[in-house]
């Protein structure tokens, strides 16, 4: 049984990666980049690739399909979906906003690094810090001169994620996926109060909670959600970019794979 | 009824009744003026647990009669300016040494002292600062394990304020006021049948009475502003008395 299970997992992971990579390639190959405003396809393509990378990495690590870790992937994927879908509504204007915000954040980080170097020029890692600053500055300046880069410490889109989700007509994904998965991402009580404690049953201890490193069981539903988020990302991409693909959608593939076959209760 | 109207009725209003204050949504009960937060388990239970021990020892009905006598005796020995509800253990700290001796004598004359010494042994022997320690030690000999077991069983039973043992702890605060005639209800207030809590638990009448008792206890406790020293000592000392316990499923992981 165990050997068979290991084989099933291996088979699923290999084929799932193929499905996602093929789905990505088949779509992106249909895009004719607009090189004058290159930032548009760079931004959209990078976000689509990010989504595919996240689901592939999650599939490759079945030990992460549990309540401790899977939400970190999933919240990130929902974030990527909302950002991409929102950008695709007005690609030219919004992809620029997205990139400029990122460049500003990079500039701010470089400032932090320079400050650290200035305060401790003889630190043991000073040389590597200098190298890091040089590389990061080169990346930044290759896109926009440092002096022209604005730093925005607010939200990149100028609105909250909930408002963005509402604008793309997917407020439900914010309410039922983004919000609950934000708890584990930010280590909030609604997560750690369940996953990182267990209850003492002694009444004289007021049934207090005691910290515990718990082993959360692997649950395939987490991987299904990841596949679902990848699928809706491909769908919104097709709809807005006018692409088509014959490659099976990741969630459809997942449900058809024997690893995820519905248990009839006899096994 | 039109379809449109039905749909309107079905619409769920998010956080209905909450008041938006900046970025916070305040629930209806927390909008009430003079609202104070009182925790039954944290603050009230340690104050009332001695009554729980009495209930466990001699049963609810007999315990109620004993409590009535105690409340009346306290009324006799205390001064008029010594306010407080003597269902709460910390209130006994208000009595001076002479009053405590006098109360002990009265309890002895009534044949209740030995019962109380025996019943309250878990509190008077396991906790350094028990306000009822002036009653003295029990005549019987108990091991620490036995005392802890008695207390653990009692706390386990009274910790839910909605179960009968917990309801009766709340009710003791009202009983104290009624017996000493330090509370009066207007004649047009329809008081529930308090006995229903014991005689027919789970009945509508019992639920009504239980709700009344809890509401009264919570209200009075909030206004008394009881010093939390005993409650803090009770829980912190209780933690020292026995180890944590976990379900077998989790422990064996």
User: Are A137 and A150 in contact, with CB atoms under 8 Å apart?
Assistant: no
pTM of this structure: 0.85
Q: What pLDDT digit, counting tens, does each position of A91-123 carry?
A: 999 999 999 999 999 999 999 999 999 999 999
B28 within a domain of the structure (yes/no): no
Kindly state whether B149 is in contact with chain A, defined as any CB-CB distance less than 8 angstroms: no
Give the confidence band of B8 by pLDDT, cuts at 50, 70, 90. Answer: low
For residue B244, report the phi and psi dihedrals to the nearest 5 degrees: -65, 155
Query: Is pLDDT at B251 greater than 50 in this prediction?
Result: no
Span B106-134, average pLDDT: 97
What's the token pair of residue B72? Answer: 């009346």
Give me the residues of A, 194-223, that contact B with CB < 8 A: 198-208, 210, 212, 214-215
B4 within a domain of the structure (yes/no): no
Q: Which of A174, A196, A204 to mutate to test the interface with B (most CBs of B within 10 A)?
A: A204
- For residue A210, list chain B residues with Cβ-Cβ distance below 8 A: 244, 246
B77 within a domain of the structure (yes/no): yes
Query: Is pLDDT at B20 greater than 70 in this prediction?
Result: yes
Give the confidence band of B80 by pLDDT, cuts at 50, 70, 90. Answer: confident
DSSP-based three-state secondary structure for A209: strand
B10 within a domain of the structure (yes/no): no
How many structural domains comprise chain B?
1
Q: What is the pLDDT along chain A (267 residues), one digit of tens a residue?
A: 466 888 999 999 999 999 999 999 999 999 998 899 999 999 999 999 999 999 999 999 999 999 999 999 999 999 999 999 999 999 999 999 999 999 999 999 999 999 999 999 999 999 999 999 999 999 999 999 888 999 999 999 999 999 999 999 999 999 999 999 999 999 999 999 999 999 999 999 999 999 999 999 999 999 999 999 999 999 999 999 999 999 999 999 999 999 987 655 444
Query: Is pLDDT at B249 greater than 90 in this prediction?
Result: no
What's the token pair of residue B221? Answer: 């406790």
Query: Is pLDDT at B3 greater than 60 in this prediction?
Result: no
Q: What mean pLDDT is reported for chain B?
A: 92
Query: Is pLDDT at B25 greater than 70 in this prediction?
Result: yes
Give ipTM to 2 decimals.
0.88
At residue B30, the pLDDT reads 82
A207, exposed or middle or buried, with CB in 10 Å at 0-12, 13-18, 19+? Answer: middle
- For residue B151, list chain A residues with Cβ-Cβ distance below 8 A: 204
- For residue A214, list chain B residues with Cβ-Cβ distance below 8 A: 253
* Chain A residue with the nearest C-alpha to that of B149: A204
B166 within a domain of the structure (yes/no): yes
* Chain B residue with the nearest C-alpha to that of A212: B250
B159 with A204: Cβ contact below 8 A: no
Kindly state whether B155 is in contact with chain A, defined as any CB-CB distance less than 8 angstroms: yes
d(CA B49, CA B170): 10
d(CA B212, CA B177): 14
Q: Name residue B21's beta-bridge partners.
A: B24
Span B77-100, average pLDDT: 95
B149 within a domain of the structure (yes/no): yes
B119 within a domain of the structure (yes/no): yes
B159 with A214: Cβ contact below 8 A: no
- For residue B244, list chain A residues with Cβ-Cβ distance below 8 A: 200, 202, 205, 210
Could you list the residue range(s) of the whole structural domain that residue B99 is in?
A: 37-253
Q: What pLDDT digit, counting tens, does each position of B150-184 carry?
A: 999 999 999 999 999 999 999 999 999 999 999 98
At residue A266, the pLDDT reads 46
At residue B120, the pLDDT reads 98
Span B113-129, average pLDDT: 97
B135 within a domain of the structure (yes/no): yes
Eight-class DSSP state of A124? T
Query: Is pLDDT at B42 greater than 80 in this prediction?
Result: yes
Q: Around Cβ B157, how many Cβ atoms within 10 Å?
A: 17
Of A199, A207, A215, the CB nearest to B253: A215
Size of interface A-B (CB pairs under 8 A): 43
d(CA A163, CA B161): 43
What's the token pair of residue B30? Answer: 């927390």
At residue B252, the pLDDT reads 45
């Amino acid at each position: 049984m165990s050997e068979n299970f290991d084989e099933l997992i291996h088979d699923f992971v290999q084929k799932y990666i193929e499905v996602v990579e093929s789905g990505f390639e088949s779509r992106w190959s249909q895009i004719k980049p607009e090189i004058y405003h290159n930032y548009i396809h760079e931004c959209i393509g990078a976000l689509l690739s990010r989504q595919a990378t996240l689901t592939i990495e999650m599939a490759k690590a079945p030990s992460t399909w549990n309540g401790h870790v899977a939400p970190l992937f999933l919240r990130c994927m929902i974030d990527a979906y909302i950002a991409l879908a929102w950008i695709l509504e007005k690609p030219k204007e919004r992809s620029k906003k997205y990139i400029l915000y990122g460049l500003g954040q990079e500039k701010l980080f470089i400032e932090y690094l320079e400050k650290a170097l200035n305060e401790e020029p003889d630190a043991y890692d000073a040389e590597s810090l200098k190298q890091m600053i040089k590389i990061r500055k080169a990346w930044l300046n290759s896109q926009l001169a440092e002096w022209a880069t604005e730093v925005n410490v607010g939200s990149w889109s100028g609105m909250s994620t909930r408002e963005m989700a509402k604008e793309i007509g997917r407020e439900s994904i914010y309410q039922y996926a983004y919000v609950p998965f934000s708890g584990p991402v930010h280590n909030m009580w609604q997560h750690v109060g369940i996953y990182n404690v267990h209850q003492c049953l002694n009444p004289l201890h007021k049934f207090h909670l005691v910290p515990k490193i718990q082993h959360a069981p692997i649950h395939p539903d987490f991987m299904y959600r990841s596949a679902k988020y990848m699928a809706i990302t491909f769908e919104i991409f097709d709809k807005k970019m006018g692409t088509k693909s014959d490659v099976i959608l990741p969630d459809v593939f997942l449900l058809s794979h024997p690893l995820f076959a519905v248990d009839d209760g006899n096994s | 009824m039109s379809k449109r109207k039905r749909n309107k009725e079905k619409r769920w209003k998010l956080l209905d009744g909450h008041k938006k204050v900046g970025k916070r949504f305040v629930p209806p009960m927390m909008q009430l003026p003079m609202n104070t937060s009182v925790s039954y388990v944290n603050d009230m239970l340690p104050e009332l647990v001695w009554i729980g021990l009495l209930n466990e020892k001699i049963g609810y009905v007999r315990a109620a009669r004993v409590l009535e006598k105690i409340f009346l005796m306290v009324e006799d020995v205390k001064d008029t300016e010594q306010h407080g509800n003597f269902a709460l253990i910390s209130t006994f700290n208000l009595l001076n040494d002479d009053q405590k001796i006098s109360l002990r004598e009265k309890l002895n004359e009534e044949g209740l002292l030995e019962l109380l010494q025996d019943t309250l042994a878990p509190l008077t022997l396991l906790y350094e600062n028990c306000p009822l320690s002036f009653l003295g030690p029990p005549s019987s000999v108990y091991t620490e394990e036995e005392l802890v077991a008695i207390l653990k069983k009692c706390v386990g039973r009274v910790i839910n304020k909605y179960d009968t043992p917990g309801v009766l702890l709340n009710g003791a605060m009202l009983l104290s006021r009624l017996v000493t005639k330090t509370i009066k209800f207007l004649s047009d207030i329809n008081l529930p049948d308090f006995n229903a809590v014991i005689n027919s638990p789970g009945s509508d009448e019992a639920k009504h009475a239980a709700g009344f008792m809890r509401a009264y206890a919570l209200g009075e406790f909030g206004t008394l502003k009881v010093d939390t020293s005993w409650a803090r000592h009770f829980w912190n000392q209780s933690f020292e008395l026995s180890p944590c316990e976990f379900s077998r499923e989790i422990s064996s992981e």
